[in-house]
Amino acid sequence: MAKHVLIFGAHPDDIESFCGGTAIRYAHMGWKVFFCVATNGNVGSTTLPKAEIAKVRYGEAKKAASIIGAELIWLGFDDEFLIDSVETRHAFINAMRIADPDVVICPCRTDYNPDHSITGYIVDECLHMAQVPNIETGTPITKKPIPHLYFMDTPAGVGFEPELYVDITDVFEKKVELLACHESQNSWMKTLFNYEMSAFLEIPARYRGLQAGVPMAEGFRPSYRWGRNFTRHYLPDCLSQAGQFR
């Protein structure tokens, strides 16, 4: 039976940006891949109204996920206003039950954007709740053990020290293809941060690759909270130091 990986992103395009290569490698390994996007991206435009850009961004996320056969779970919370609440936790727990994951990947809890950090916080706080019957979400509880949790890199790697790396050299061009589906964000990122999305992918990938001893890599940290199995690692061909497999 195929294993499942559930990757959380705060916004449409976050997963492709910071974990896209690893998602592709999981798909190549025969894992069932789930993309869960917490917010609808409805502020991500200087020209389109909120409802319209949200529809555009859903279509872009759906297209990107379909390229690698991933299933998209769309939570639809308002962009830039994600908060930790009962409603939000129920939605995250329900996503975990839908995906029934062996591995979960999410944003770092100290990322620069509040939606990113809140997404990572809620995932980390709720990881064990998908197995609790008295927390009802409308989806049956998962029968698997608590999944293994990894935090993905931050934009430009700021404030993030990876402990583990995944070699994405052979799938980097496919990662670029996934992010290219998010056409609405090219001009938005240029306006907001004055960078090209292609450089946004390549420079961090080469830097993390330099650290890992491969041409291109993505960086991760495991969760060390009690109840998580951190004596083994379940990232594709996981590297801990330059060229050393875990």
- pLDDT above 80: residue 190: no
- pLDDT above 80: residue 198: no
Q: Which two tokens stand for residue 45?
A: 């435009």
pLDDT of residue 234: 85
pLDDT of residue 197: 75
Confidence of residue 246 (pLDDT cuts 50, 70, 90): very low
79-123 per-position pLDDT tens digit: 999 999 999 999 999 999 999 999 999 999 999 999 999 999 999
Confidence of residue 241 (pLDDT cuts 50, 70, 90): low
Confidence of residue 245 (pLDDT cuts 50, 70, 90): very low
CA distances for 204 relative to 154, 195, 201, 209, 225, angstroms: 10, 13, 6, 8, 28
pLDDT of residue 192: 75
Instruction: Give the residue carrying structure tokens 């435009």.
Output: 45
136-171 per-position pLDDT tens digit: 999 999 989 999 999 999 999 999 999 999 999 999
Query: How many residues are listed for the chain in this entry?
Result: 246
Computed over every residue of the chain, the mean pLDDT equals 93
Q: Could you give all domains of the chain from N- to C-terminal order, each with its CATH number? A: 4-245 (3.40.50.10320)
Confidence of residue 177 (pLDDT cuts 50, 70, 90): very high
CA distance 166 to 213: 11
Return the closest-CA partner of residue 192 out of 113, 100, 122: 113
pTM: 0.94
pLDDT of residue 229: 64
pLDDT of residue 244: 52
CA distances for 93 relative to 52, 73, 86, 192, angstroms: 28, 12, 10, 32
Contacts of 139 (CB under 8 A, 6+ apart): 94, 97, 98
Three-state SS for 217?
strand
pLDDT of residue 230: 62
CA distance 212 to 210: 5
Q: Which segments of 68-136 are extended strands (E)?
A: 71-77, 103-106
How many C-beta atoms lie closer than 10 Å to residue 48's C-beta? Answer: 15
Q: 3-state SS of 95-144?
A: HHHHHCCCEEEECCCCCCCHHHHHHHHHHHHHHHHHHCCCCCCCCCCCCC
Average of per-residue pLDDT across 219-225 = 92
Return the closest-CA partner of residue 14 out of 44, 49, 46: 44
